Structure 1
Amino acid sequence: MKFSIKHEIKGRLRVHIYQKGAMTLRQADLLQYYLGTLCGVESAKVYERTADAVVVYKGDRQDILESICRFTYEDEGLKELVPSASGRALNREYKEKLIQRVMIRAATKVFFPGWLRAAYTAVSAVRYVYRGLCCLLQGRLEVEVLDATAISVSIIRRDFDTAGSVMFLLGIGGLLEEWTHKKSVGDLARSMSLNIEKVWQKTGDAEVLVPVSSIREGDFITVHLGNVIPLDGIVTEGEAMVNQASMTGESIPVKKEKGSYVYAGTAVEEGEITLQVKSAQGSTRFERIVQMIEDSEKLKSAVEGKASGLADALVPWSLGGTALTWLITRNATRAISILMVDFSCALKLAMPLAVLSAMREAGSRHITVKGGKFLEAVAQADTIVFDKTGTLTKAEPVVADIVPFNDMSRDELLKTAACLEEHFPHSMANAVVKEAARRGLIHEEMHSKVDYIVAHGIATYVNGTRVIIGSHHFVFEDEGCEIPEARREEFEALPPSYSHLYMAMGGKLAAVILIEDPLREEAGQVIRSLKELGIRKVVMMTGDSERTARAIAQRVGVDQYFSEVLPEDKAGFVEREKAAGRKVIMVGDGINDSPALSAADAGIAISEGAAIAREIADITISEEDLYQLVTLKAISNRLMSRINWNYRFVISFNLGLILMGVAGLISPATSALLHNTSTVAVSLKSMTDLLDEKEE
């Protein structure tokens, strides 16, 4: 790629790209993504109108320049990584709309003679009057009626400047709200879009793990229990209960069998299915998510509903105050001053903007929030429940050792365990699979159908022998497996500092896999920080033994812990806490956490956990840093503080304007100008970040 350096200071480059024709929005997205991935680049911004790119870096300058030279828009791998719906087109559209409105307003003020300006204002007022009349005809006395009345009275009094100013500021406010809403929805939809890298492709009787980008329409893929369906398709084999809440809003899983149509983004809760792909990756997923978010009441928090309700409830009082002022003073100017200040604009505009802006800010910190009401729930929460594995402990436990209890070698036992565990994404299962890969063990599919028993383990048959792997309770109590008598002493001497994964063959213990699940270094400080932010009760729940649970609980400082719990135990505890009047957050990452995540006021999943947990959860955080919980709580708390401040400011400021107008201290035009200016100001403030950069 040809380019020139337009401007340069230490650590910052501005380059101009030379190419045939203007830079398209898609090309700008590709270049910006590419620059952002370069080693040493801190941030990159591409301006498609001027074909310029600004790069802020700390790495080697020459390496960055050489990388830009190697860039090409035809890189197919890059095209697959960069989403087609980036938001750049939306931003351009609304910037142009805002500029257009301001230019039209300026042109009418400067170039139109008085009579033409009056005619233009009267014509523009028609749609506001129409909306107000529609409200009245439907028996509703809402904000539209107040807006129509204020504009109509101003025009009747021949105060066209006031009417024009009111409509201009209402239009600007509406555009800002629409822009922020669509941008927030788009950002949220992009973060919710599927992030599935590999799928099980079925070819004949075999299943092969392949990149999802290689799947084409007509191919067959198998989706196992607990996984998200990556592509649209028709079921050709198997039966499954599919959770479609993320797509259709249905709370109860739907049975899917041969001939049923399944949608990308829904999750298999029970069973497994093979489907024939009908829609390749990315064709409709983003658009459906956008529609789902816009249609979903999840986007509305209670404070948004309260603001809208209060705004409408104040309309009769404003109209009544106008009539009463005129009856007492017989001064139309003072009476109209009340109509110019309706409370509703700021209340209905600033509150949703504050919530959507908070969701956007959370998204910029790799925290996906699926609805405004969940931020409100986090702010009000006083109890947080943690699953241990993958949350308080690191998301990638490792295999410390394999202790054989039969004649097979350690590698043979590990290979068998990995062959079973690779079908079910959980942190301990991933540890087994990764250890086998690290040792170079190739584990071919040598088993029959694998059955997964939630929170217990896995069972199958290998060469006619029943093989099970899972917890102590599952292997020894449910399945009644035996410990070789000659090895009992060795079994009793297993180190207690590790988690134990038991594997039995033919009813006898074959191996114990020792799993080291390192505690997150930040876990203790995160819990202390959450308590400082208003959490009063911290609970840890795990399927591990009492010994392991107690050790972890003491190290991180939780208030209460439960060991050897089942999924229904977690969900039951959450329900009991809610019944006791507490607001509960649940944090988990596995299939067995899904019931509790669904039951909590706000369910938070770890992004690298089980796919079904991410789909069911209300909020998703990155696995990299548990401090994101603290960030989320801080954003939620400050959002509620901002909303409360907005209430106080809007009511007190506008009440002051009404009193000054009634007293004759300011004119209706001044009252309208101050009111609408304050509305835009408080709305713009509501769109700013809640946290400082140093608090990230």
Structure 2
Amino acid sequence: MSEKTKKQVYRIEGLSCSNCAAKFEKNVAQLPKVTTAKVNFGAGKLLIEGEATIAEIEAAGAFENLLVRNEHDTEKRINTQELFIKKNGHLLISIILIVLAFGFQLVNREDFSKILYIMAIVIGGFHLFKEGFSDLISLDFTMEGLMTIAILGAALIGEWTEGAIVVLLFAVSEALERFSMDKARQSIRSLMDIAPKEALIKRNNVEQRMNVSEIQVGDIMIIKPGQKIAMDGQVIKGHSAVNQAAITGEAVPVEKQLDDAVFAGTLNGEGMLEVVVTKLVNDTTLAKIIHLVEGAQGERAPAQAFVDVFAKYYTPTIMAIAALVVTVPPLFFDGDWHTWLYQGLSLLVVGCPCSLVISTPVAIVSAIGNAARNGVLVKGGIYLEEIGGINAIAFDKTGTLTKGTPVVTDFIPTDLNNEEKYLSIIAALEAYSQHPLASAILKKANEKAIPYQAIVVHHFTSVTGKGVQGEIEGLTYSVGSPTFFENILAKNPSMTETYQTLQQQGKTVMLLGTNEKILAVIAVADELRASSTSTIPKLHHLGIEHTIMLTGDNTATAELIGKQVGVTHIKGDLLPQDKLDYIKSLQQMYGKVAMVGDGVNDAPALAASNVGIAMGGAGTDTALETADIALMGDDLQKLPFIVTLSRQTLKIIKQNITFSLGIKLAALLLILPGWLTLWLAIIADMGATLLVTLNGLRLMKIKA
């Protein structure tokens, strides 16, 4: 790969606003060996095509003291104390100078006081002025440009004290923005630290500790009790319970045994496991989650897109209004130039769009990070907004409302004394069968510890459409549908009634018998998820009145399952195309519709819906790639959580925008009686920024 097409990804610390991100992106793109540059503001990441050193990239972000490190650099380049001093050294010096200047004012040494205030303005506002002048020269109306004009104007009319305070408070405001955005980003970055950087690997029968970057697919990973799992893999030896909360949000540890999948970042319980590595470190489920969520944090939600467009016209409008405030009263109403210049400067300060610009991204980033930590992967801000406005949700049945794996629900022997014997015969015959329901019967036998493996079956045959047959201890036994036992059932009405009753309940019913009599009835059905029956009422309580079950199963079975879970509409006998058509008809009836499926066979319906929600995100590449939202732990109870989180996010965004614009409007009204001061303006602007930031960070605390 040539230098021009080489791709590099870096993490950026200190990006506080989208305007700064755009400016930084532009600066990096202008570096000599860089072809293109793209900044993901939400995730705090930089992607460049070409080549640049970290020093060059940091120089491009020097206007905001940005710190840069390689995406996979696990070492901290600077400790917390050094980081704070490097970012805010000018702020600390300005505070000291302003305190000294104020002290000299108290002892009537205005000459020393003035010098110290000027020094505070120059030192505290150096980066501000550098960017502000550059932006004004290029007619780029930014926050830095607004503040530069305001501070120079304050100096022009001799308001040195207020000019210094404006510089100080603006620097504090920027520091708060950086802190809040870094904190919001950290909600998902913290996932990077949960997987160990080393693992005990057995390669060529030699055990050694290796860095995860050196581990290859096929290596054997040894995981001791209480250790975190470093890589995705499959259990080849051992048995344990693994806490998967970091990946799936499941609170209860999951049993792991031979052939079960395990994920990087999960915590092993009390058993020893040997696991064959199935994915490289950058391809693990955890790595994909982090990558997808950071990509989602970088995508603009509709509300954020609106704010960005609004701010583009808002800033020059504020400058124009400030110019009118300065000139109109003195020119047409005999106003005092000094007074109205001061009011105009105050308007510029309070009109700074900091709080407006930060109001939406901090909320979106916080919400998406919180969702990921609770086992819900949201692919972008647009889907986070959409799910809150959903009027109807359609559910696939198999694998969504049900577990997708059949289980034995009923076993009714004609002779209770021979219950174990009859079950062992059925299991022995089904052990030779390839029928999908055979696994459910064998699982039942294993649960009851019935030794069916010891039974010898002779002359085993499988009869298509009927069942299986074999000879055991000289007697021929059959397991299958009623067609195997037509003559016997005609003489046994009670058994026929039992069979029909179970069948009417939507179960697949089989009989065990000989050529002379029926010995037992066994019923198999797809097991309902425990979360299904509790989730649907919660969605109804949230105001989503229309819940629809769509399935390819027969209508009778669909009706039974649908009534158990409590959905409002049930549609059976549907092909994939029928599901797609029905989703479109739901959209015409109810507006916004979500579809919940397994991410594979429901792909057309998922794609057609306003929000496609996939079950089984953990370890399922298809679900992660195709769905708009993935429920990592197959837990439907996360649906009400994400709907609530979405609505709260929209509520907070609206609160933030309304509050930010309200502060600006109040400032305009204070100009008329001449009550707006520079002090009040900067405090109002900083206060608004702080409040909308803290309001957005509240989304990190919403629980599933």
Give 1:185 deviation, angstroms: 3.9
Between 1:633-642 and 1:102-111, the stretch displaced more is: 102-111
1:361 partnered with 2:360 = no
The verdict on how the C-alpha distance between 1:136 and 1:469 changes in structure 2, with shifts beyond 3 A counting, is farther
Provide the rounded CA distance (Å) in 2 between the counterparts of 1:284 and 1:400. Answer: 37
- Answer whether contact 2:391 2:590 (CA < 8 A) is retained: no
Matched, 1:619 2:629: yes
User: 1:104 Cα deviation (Å)?
Assistant: 4.8
What secondary structure, in the 3-state scheme, does the structure 1 residue paired with 2:346 have?
helix
CA shift in 2, pair 1:468/1:632, >3 Å: farther
1:450-484: CA deviation from partner (whole Å, max 9, x where unpaired):
xxxxxxxxxxxxx99999999xxxxxxxxxxx979
Q: How does 1:442-457 map to 2 (within 5 A)?
A: none
1:29-108 equivalences in 2 (<5 Å): 103-104=92-93, 106-108=95-97
Q: Of the two, which has the highest radius of gyration?
A: 2
The partner residue of 2:656 within 623, 642, 646 is: 646
- The whole-number CA distance in structure 2 between the counterparts of 1:161 and 1:84 is 39
Contact 2:392 2:544 in 1 (8 A): yes
Secondary structure, aligned partner of 2:535: helix
Give the alignment partner of residue 163 of structure 1, picking from 145, 160, 166. 166
Corresponding residue pairs, total: 501
Cα separation, 2, equivalents of 1:302 and 1:433: 52
Equivalent residue in structure 2 for 1:631, among 633, 637, 641 = 641
Q: CA deviation at 1:638?
A: 1.9
Deviation at 1:140, TM superposition (A): 4.6
Instruction: Please say if 1:497 is aligned against 2:497.
Output: no
- Aligned pairs for 1:191-270 within 5 A: 217=216, 219=218
Partners of 2:623 and 2:318 lie apart in 1 by 49
1:631 deviates by 2.1
Kept in 2, the 8 Å contact 1:395–1:623? The answer is no
Query: Using a 3 Å threshold, how does the CA distance of structure 1 residues 327 and 604 change in structure 2: closer, same or farther?
Result: same
Partners of 2:502 and 2:174 lie apart in 1 by 72
Identify the residue that residue 371 of structure 1 maps to in structure 2. 380
Amino acid at match of 2:670: M
Query: Which of 533, 549, 561 is matched with 1:552 structurally?
Result: 561
Q: What is the match of residue 614 of structure 2?
A: 605
- Per-residue deviation at 1:665? 0.8
Aligned residue runs from structure 1 range 314-463, under 5 A? 314-330=314-330, 331-342=340-351, 344-393=353-402, 398-400=407-409, 410-412=426-428, 414-415=430-431, 434-435=443-444, 438=447
Q: C-alpha deviations, 1:588-646, integer Å up to 9, x for none?
A: 23632344334332222334788123443232336575433222222221221222222
Contact 2:616 / 2:634 at 8 angstroms: preserved in 1?
Answer: no
Q: Does 1:110 align with 2:119?
A: no
1:386 counterpart SS class:
strand
Q: Secondary structure at the match of 2:698?
A: coil
Q: CA deviation at 1:124?
A: 4.5
SS at match of 1:544: coil
- TM-fit CA distance, 1:310: 1.7
Cα distance, 1:125 vs. partner? 3.1
Structure 2 distance, partners of 1:136, 1:316, is 11
AA at the equivalent of 1:186: R
Q: Partners in 1 of 2:531 and 2:698 — Cα distance?
A: 29
Could you tell which deviates more after superposition, 644-653 or 617-626? 617-626
Change (3 A) 1:383 1:97: farther
SS at match of 1:676: helix
Cα distance in 2 between the residues matched to 1:432 and 1:186: 45
Which one is further off, 179-188 or 658-667? 179-188
In the aligned structure 2, how far is the partner of 1:634 from the partner of 1:469?
50
The 3 A distance-change label for structure 1 pair 99 and 125 is closer
State the alpha-carbon separation in 1 of the partners of residues 558 and 450 from structure 2.
Answer: 32
Tell me the TM-score normalized by structure 2: 0.58
Contact 2:98 2:116 in 1 (8 A): no
Shift of 1:541: 1.0
AA at the equivalent of 1:655: L
Deviations 1:400-456 (CA, angstroms, capped at 9, x unpaired): 3699xxxx9532454456x787xxxxxx99867855764779999xxxxxxxxxxxx
Letter in 2 for 1:516: A
Q: Secondary structure at the match of 1:586?
A: strand
Distance 1:169 1:395 in 2: 55
Find the counterpart in structure 1 of residue 675 from structure 2. 665
Tell me which of 161, 175, 180 is aligned to 2:178.
Answer: 175
Residues 232 and 277 of structure 2 are in contact (CA less than 8 Å); yes or no, is this contact kept in structure 1? yes
- Higher mean displacement: 150-159 or 315-324: 150-159
Shift in CA distance, 525/293, structure 1 to aligned 2, threshold 3 Å: closer
For residue 340 of structure 1, give the secondary structure of its aligned residue in structure 2.
helix
Q: Please give the alpha-carbon distance, in whole angstroms, between the structure 2 residues aligned to 1:468 and 1:103.
A: 83
Amino acid at match of 1:175: R
Matched with 1:72 is none
CA contact (8 A) 2:427 2:442 kept: no
Q: Secondary structure at the match of 1:592?
A: coil
Counterpart of 2:573 in structure 1 is: 564
Which residue, 533, 543, 548 being the options, matches 1:539? 548
CA–CA distance in 2 between the matches of 1:572 and 1:89? 57
Matches of 1:134 and 1:152 in 2, distance apart?
15
What per-residue deviation string (whole Å, max 9, x for no partner) do you get for residues 281-335 of structure 1? 4688766765554455773211111122222221121011111111122421011
In structure 2, the CA distance between the partners of 1:94 and 1:300, relative to structure 1 (3 Å rule), is farther
Verify the 8 A CA contact 1:604 1:620 in the aligned structure 2: yes
Question: Alpha-carbon deviation of 1:529?
Answer: 3.0
Cα 1:434–1:326 shift into 2, 3 Å: farther
Distance 1:581 1:590, change over 3 A: closer
**Alignment RMSD:** 5.2
Give yes or no for contact 1:589–1:609 (8 Å, CA) kept in 2.
no
Q: Structure 2: any 5+ residue segments left out of the alignment?
A: 1-71, 102-111, 197-203, 205-211, 221-230, 234-263, 265-275, 331-339, 413-423, 454-459, 468-479, 490-495, 511-520
Relative to structure 1, the CA distance from residue 173 to residue 313 in structure 2 (aligned partners, 3 Å threshold; closer, same or farther) is: farther
Kindly provide the CA deviation profile for residues 239-298 of structure 1, in whole angstroms up to 9, marking residues without a partner as x. xxxxxxxxxxxxxxxxxxxxxxxxx9xxxxxxxxxxx98974468876676555445577
Whole-angstrom CA distance in 2 between matches of 1:364 and 1:571: 32
CA distance in 1, matches of 2:299, 2:185: 12
SS state at 1:384 partner: strand
- Please state whether the residue corresponding to 2:602 is helix, strand or coil: helix
Distance 2:314 2:679 in 1: 21
Matched, 1:686 2:685: no
Give the drift of 1:540. Answer: 0.7
Give the distance between the partners of 1:609 and 1:554, measured in 2 at CA: 29
Tell me if the contact between 1:129 and 1:149 (Cα under 8 Å) persists in the aligned partners: no
Query: Could you say if the C-alpha distance between residues 130 and 95 of structure 1 is closer, same or farther in structure 2, counting changes exceeding 3 Å?
Result: closer
CA contact (8 A) 2:285 2:618 kept: no
| 1:528 and 2:537 matched | yes
For 1:469 and 1:136, locate their aligned partners in 2 and report how far apart those are by CA, in whole Å: 84
1:303 corresponds to: 303
CA distance in 1, matches of 2:75, 2:123: 37
Q: Distance in 1 between matches of 2:191 and 2:92?
A: 32
Is the alpha carbon distance of 1:420 and 1:609 closer, same or farther for their aligned partners in structure 2, counting shifts above 3 Å?
A: farther
In structure 2, do the counterparts of structure 1 residues 572 and 415 end up closer, same or farther at CA, with 3 Å as the change threshold?
farther
SS of the residue 2:350 aligns to: coil
Structure 1 contact 187–360 (Cα < 8 Å) conserved: no
